[in-house]
Amino acid sequence: MSLPPSTSTSKEDLYRLHNDAALKSIVASLKPMIPICVYIILSAAAPAMVLPIIPAQRTAYFGSDSTAMIWGSTFDSVNALIGMFTGGLVGLASDAYGRKLVVLISAFEGCIAMAVFLIFGEQNPWPYIVVGNLACVIGSTKIGNAALGFMVVADLFEKECRLLPTLIYVVSLFTGFVCAPIPSALGFSSTTTGIISTSITFLVLVYVWLFFEETLPEEKRKKVSIKDLENPLVPLKFVFRSRYLSSFAILGATFMFPFYVSTGINMYYLKDKLGTFTNTDNGLLMATMSIAGILLLIFVLPLLTRRVNPENIVLAGMLSMTLNAILYCLVAAPWQVFSFLSTSEAFTFLAMTMMFQMVSVTVPQNEQGVVNGTLSALKEIATISGPILGSLLYSLGKYHIDREHPFIELPYLLSACVCIFGVSVIVLVLKPEIKRRRDIAEASQDGDSLAQSPKAPTAEYGTATTTIQVAQQQGADASLLREG
């Protein structure tokens, strides 16, 4: 004769069923993320395969590293200068006409850039530099796939439930970058790499056209006049009307400055510093940084958001970028590049993810495009100045100060100084502004409302735990998507 189940066992079964229902609810709510994640992985993988071999192509064409650096940096800076005035307008257009149009334009641009690379390749990098970069300016690439992803997440999820899908999205971005060393590791020629990248971008365009659904309904779109779309200064008012958002605009440019200083000179610098650094090594560096970023986002960021205020995570990221610049000056072996440098850069991207998350919960849904677009456009200040300053300082330190004892670390010392400026912005401007906002929230809310104030990071900025709790409360039929 069997005994009836105990009360404790019944409670355990109920608890397990309740958790299973919550998990199914979370999985169901995240299904709309699948199209954007597929798009991000593929659209990041295509240029990631090409980028590691571009420095060698430029050197082969221009005849020397220094000439290749100067010309490549000049075109990157000109591209960024134009993009600084178009990024905000494209973001504003996405608020008015929807996200899918912007994603389609971005996918089409990718096809143009990769096709030009395939056709001209090593014989002449000029068409790729000119046409590829200008194609990016025409449409949405200047606001970046990152900004597009944050817009879509804001469209689909409520404020308190955005961090988990944001993590999934950023992990997808890094997953695409992991593909960077594959062609070089397999010994593919630049032509073969170009064929693969062009094929991927064409598939992305078809995929977006057929499967990517609009995430911003017409009734929620922002009413924008044609005059607004013709004036590049209009988007700036959406950012600079707020001291809070202005701080993020400055920090965005500060975060990206070291990356763009290093972009044009990284491979040449490491080759001089270490004695050898190949295309494969360059791709492997990008891949190891991406893998480190994935691990940090999955395992570290959820823990940090439970114990550390978001602004302190951003501060830690800026300090990590400062350390990264110093480590570049001290690096002496390849293993240090693939371990220390990759990890510090990956932690910086973790902090930037949190920064965009903070922006996301501050801005209304129909202003996500213009604000994210403008912030990304203002980061072009770093793109304009970084490559030129990096290449000039590198050439100055290598050829003009002391040829017998070159001082090629100059660009990275400048990056460290800029990051220290970013630390001061966080400490002196951003943190006091956040404290002021929290004090206002405390004064105006009581009881249960107080628990939802910005003082509680899990309430305003969202965590993976918050998402699970919401799903558990709503049961198996819960939906974390916005209605309508």
DSSP state of 78: H
Tell me the C-alpha distance between 289 and 268, whole Å.
19
Q: How many CA atoms lie within 13 A of 282 on its CB side?
A: 25
Closest CA to 430 of 359, 347, 346: 359
Q: Is 475 left (phi over 0), alpha (psi -120 to 50) or beta?
A: left
Tell me the C-alpha distance between 113 and 197, whole Å.
10
Tell me the C-alpha distance between 341 and 334, whole Å.
10
Tell me the C-alpha distance between 147 and 249, whole Å.
13
Tell me the C-alpha distance between 342 and 334, whole Å.
11
pLDDT at residue 317 in the model: 94
Distances (CA, A) of 90 to 87, 111, 209, 462: 5, 19, 19, 28
pLDDT at residue 232 in the model: 64
pLDDT at residue 305 in the model: 87
CB 49 within 8 A of CB 193: yes
Q: Which helix (H) or strand (E) holds 248?
A: helix 243-263
Q: How many CA atoms lie within 13 A of 365 on its CB side?
A: 22
Residues of the chain with pLDDT under 50: 1-9, 11, 14-15, 17-18, 22, 135-144, 449-451, 453-484
Q: Which two tokens stand for residue 346?
A: 């990956």
Tell me the C-alpha distance between 182 and 50, whole Å.
10
Q: Which CATH topology does 15-214+235-474 take?
A: Growth Hormone; Chain: A; (1.20.1250)
